[in-house]
Amino acid sequence: MRRQPERIAALAFTVYVVALLAISVPPAWLVLLLLPPGRRSDLWSKRWARWLLAASGCRLRVSGAAHVPGDRPVVFVSNHTSYLDSIVLMAAIPSAYRFVVARRYAAWPVVGTAIRKARYITVDRRSAATRAGSVDVIEAALRDGSSVLIYPEGHRARGPDLEPFRAGAFRAAVATGRDVVPITVRGTRTVMGPGARLFRRGPIDVIIHPAVAPSGTGRREIGRLRDAARSDIECGLVFGRREPGTKNPEPG
């Protein structure tokens, strides 16, 4: 008997979210077309993400924001279980960074415009050669002073558990001497899971863990960073602890 009211609530919430998107996406996209590429376009996209989450009623709870360094570039790495993850991270992380996204998304309507205007990094994972070239681009961005955000699983996880982490993000961190900042995202799979036809309102947690600094070179150090980041993200998924005194981000 409980399933019917839950389905009705999910259907109503889905209609509401679709209406929010229909109202907000066209003007947001037009503003993006008018803005110059770079930081201003990135800020506009993140402002829209914060507004959308606030308007949806899905409470965004961010802990560990103090772990984001404001004076140097880092490699952010996060778990990935839903298409909502990118919107949530855009709203949650206080500092500037460049998303690393699969090249195919650059061809999507509206999404492709945001990727190009914000100068996010597109990567091609079709072969070993193209993957190596993508790591070179990421390393160049880090050396130029840009932080980057990477999903080390390489795609959305098929289940609730973490999938194996690829080495590219950690290889770039070791090569450039940049810290790795692990991030756990919880709740997006409940709101919009893989293959789900309906949205469900619920809280979303973003847990930013302390930075892990590279202390050497070579494959062993790459593996150490990868294992440390995976352990932190996994702990966040299991325990989901928030630090005392954290605040929700205000809509911009």
In this predicted structure, what is the pLDDT of residue 129?
59
Class of domain 3-239 as given by CATH:
alpha beta
**What is the phi/psi pair of residue 242, to 5°?**
-110, 145
Distance, in Å, from the CA atom of 234 to the CA atom of 77, rounded to the nearest integer, reads 12
In this predicted structure, what is the pLDDT of residue 246?
43
- Concatenated DSSP letters for 207-218? EEPPPB---S-H
Q: Whole-prediction pTM value?
A: 0.88
Domain spans in the chain, listed from the N-terminal domain onward: 3-239
* Residue keyed to tokens 């279980």: 81
Output the CA torsion sign for 234, 131, 106, 169: positive
How many CB atoms are located within 10 Å of the residue 35 CB? Answer: 17
In this predicted structure, what is the pLDDT of residue 240?
64
Strands (E) across 54-143 are located at 60-63, 75-78, 98-102, 121-123
In this predicted structure, what is the pLDDT of residue 71?
83
> Do the beta carbons of residue 210 and residue 67 sit within 8 Å?
yes
> Do the beta carbons of residue 173 and residue 148 sit within 8 Å?
no
In this predicted structure, what is the pLDDT of residue 244?
35
pLDDT in tens, the chain (252 residues): 457 888 889 999 999 999 999 999 999 999 999 999 999 999 999 999 999 999 999 999 999 999 998 889 999 999 999 989 999 999 999 788 999 988 888 888 888 999 999 999 988 776 565 666 778 899 999 999 999 999 999 888 777 789 999 999 999 999 999 999 999 999 999 998 777 789 999 999 999 999 999 998 899 999 999 999 999 999 999 876 444 334 444 433
Distance, in Å, from the CA atom of 64 to the CA atom of 68, rounded to the nearest integer, reads 8
Distance, in Å, from the CA atom of 181 to the CA atom of 226, rounded to the nearest integer, reads 11
In this predicted structure, what is the pLDDT of residue 106?
82
Pick from 173, 162, 184: nearest CA to 223 = 173
Distance, in Å, from the CA atom of 87 to the CA atom of 187, rounded to the nearest integer, reads 13
| Tokens at 164, concatenated | 């194996």
204 CB-near residues (< 8 Å, 6+ apart): 53, 58, 59, 60, 61, 84, 88, 185, 186, 187, 188, 191
